[in-house]
Amino acid sequence: MSRYHQPVMLETCIRELKLKDHGIYVDATLGGGGHSLGMLKANPNIRLFAIDQDADAIAEASELLQDYPVTIIKANFQQLRTQLAYHKVKGIDGILFDLGVSSYQLDEAERGFSFDKDAILDMRMDRDQNLTAKDLINESSVDELKRIFKEYGEDAASGRIARAVEKARQNKEIVSTKELADIIESVVGTGSKESLKSKVRIFQALRIEVNNELGVLSSVLTDAINLLNPGGRIVVMSYHSLEDRIVKNAFRLAAQGCICPPAMIHCTCDHKRQLKIISKRPLVASADELAQNIRSRSVKLRVAEKIEGKK
């Protein structure tokens, strides 16, 4: 369908979004356009806005969706409210988030996302931004690198890897993905499953930091919930435990009424319940999809619905 990746849990996403005629929907993570195409095929009568910050993704999706009525917006999804306001959209009937990095981005060596392909350390999803993974590796303090590796990679060797980076860059600037992978292996060894996991975690941690992926997630989920019309659905797919925790907590908070401390006699928080959680536990890929699409192995899909009340 798209060289970016086979869209994960496509049928589940479409089912849970409950697409209705003339409804307004948002694909907040367009990628190669697979989910958007599936939505438009499932109901050609929807009005669809699709957002992505990656120019390569937009070029791919634009070709795939050229025969369909879709408005494609180049922006980080943290600009969701502003971008929709430009198009005079005040409320939506559903929104889909497919978080993380696409298979195409990993496969394109020049993007610098993967330790399997030697390239300049880049990892920018939006190549118009200045900060790269090379900048972080060479300019961050040891303590800051340890924080990034530990917080976003959850790797037990974070401190030792940070110190190894510091030692290596005293001799020369660390420029390539291979150089960083070699430094990681110098700490955790080579050829083992644990070595592979450490490389995955450290590269993932850098990608998350470069693109501020978790920093913008909570705020955009709040914006998306506020934009939903009553009965509208929010569907979020995450591939990392920290992402899923943020989604779960955002849904849980929006599904609560009063959040005052128990000792309070009268409510002063004015917090109103906004959501009904549809998926009490995250949905996962079927055995058939797992066999066909390796990217679906770690996905957790959560669904919630806007209840009656003010947006």
* Cα distance between residue 178 and residue 269, in whole Å: 52
Contact 211, 293 (CB under 8 A): no
For 107-126, the pLDDT digits (tens) are: 565 676 677 778 889 888 88
Per-residue confidence (pLDDT) for residue 129, from 0 to 100: 86
Domain ranges of the chain: 10-104+213-306, 127-210
Per-residue confidence (pLDDT) for residue 260, from 0 to 100: 74
* Cα distance between residue 253 and residue 240, in whole Å: 20
Give the architecture-level CATH label for domain 10-104+213-306: 3-Layer(aba) Sandwich (3.40)
Per-residue confidence (pLDDT) for residue 2, from 0 to 100: 47
Low-confidence residues of the chain: pLDDT under 50: 1-2, 310-311
Per-residue confidence (pLDDT) for residue 1, from 0 to 100: 43
CATH number (3.90.1200.10, 3.40.47.10, 3.40.50.970, 1.10.150.170) of 127-210 reads: 1.10.150.170
* Cα distance between residue 27 and residue 52, in whole Å: 9
Contact 253, 225 (CB under 8 A): no
Per-residue confidence (pLDDT) for residue 108, from 0 to 100: 62
Q: Which two tokens stand for residue 175?
A: 């420029």
The residues with which 70 forms a beta bridge, in sequence order, are 48
For 173-200, the pLDDT digits (tens) are: 999 999 999 999 999 998 888 889 999 9
